[in-house]
Amino acid sequence: MIETLRSAVSKLAALAILVGGIWSIYAFAVTPLTERLTAAEEGLEQQRRLLGHLLAEAHSARLSGTGLQGGLSADDAAFISGGSEASRVALLQSRVAQIASLAGARIGSSRAMAERDQGTLRLAGIDVQIAGTIDQLQRVLHALESQNPVLVVETLEIIRSPVAEGAPSGNLDARLVVTGAIKPKQG
């Protein structure tokens, strides 16, 4: 009788260890992975909604003909115009500042880069530091590359903004190198 009881207790203990092991695997491996997957899916869905919204805005702006280069032809509107290098850089800096402001992002600094030739085009560029949330930075990047004059983000470096202990984090610091083609001289 004691031997039967001892055998039953051993089997019960083995079953308890097995159930404990399975629960540990579930609690420490499966649950965190499913939570991470769910968070990634929610983030992806949010990004898809934002992209859809931005594309709808860009489409409606193109249909309504609103833009900063109102009376120019499509060819002229694609280029940065200005008589001197300083005026072209100023135009580029003000355009990026306007886009950042409309998106709710903040310009930290802006530095002119030397104009350079690339093939048949002459390019003007600036190096800009921008701070904002990921949504604000996405709006800035979309606006820079989808409106006239045509601007290209050649370099993009993003880091998380430093935050004080206990403060909410969510801001990012971005460094962009933005270039645009200079309108060719007529003649």
Closest CA to 130 of 176, 180, 179: 176
Residue 16 CA to residue 1 CA, distance in Å, equals 22
Q: What is the pTM of this model?
A: 0.56
Residues 160-171, mean pLDDT to the nearest whole number: 66
Predicted local confidence at residue 73, as pLDDT: 45
Q: How many CB atoms lie within 10 A of CB 33?
A: 10
pLDDT of residue 59: 61
| Three-point CA angle 91, 97, 99, nearest 5° | 105
pLDDT greater at residue 71 or residue 84: 84
Cis peptide before 149 (omega within 30 of 0): yes
What was the pLDDT predicted at 129?
Answer: 95
Place of tokens 């159930």: 19
Question: In the predicted model, what is the mean pLDDT of the chain?
Answer: 81
What integer pLDDT is reported at residue 17 of this predicted model? 94
pLDDT tens figures, 86-111:
888 998 999 999 999 999 999 999 99
Buried b / exposed e over 118-150, threshold 16 CB at 10 Å, is eeeebbbbbebebbbebbbbbbbbbbbeebbbe
For residue 67, is pLDDT > 50? no
Q: Is the pLDDT of residue 72 over 90?
A: no
Q: Rounded mean pLDDT of 57-78?
A: 54
The answer to which of 25-29, 53-57, 62-66, 89-93 has the lowest mean pLDDT is 62-66
Mean pLDDT of 140-145: 90
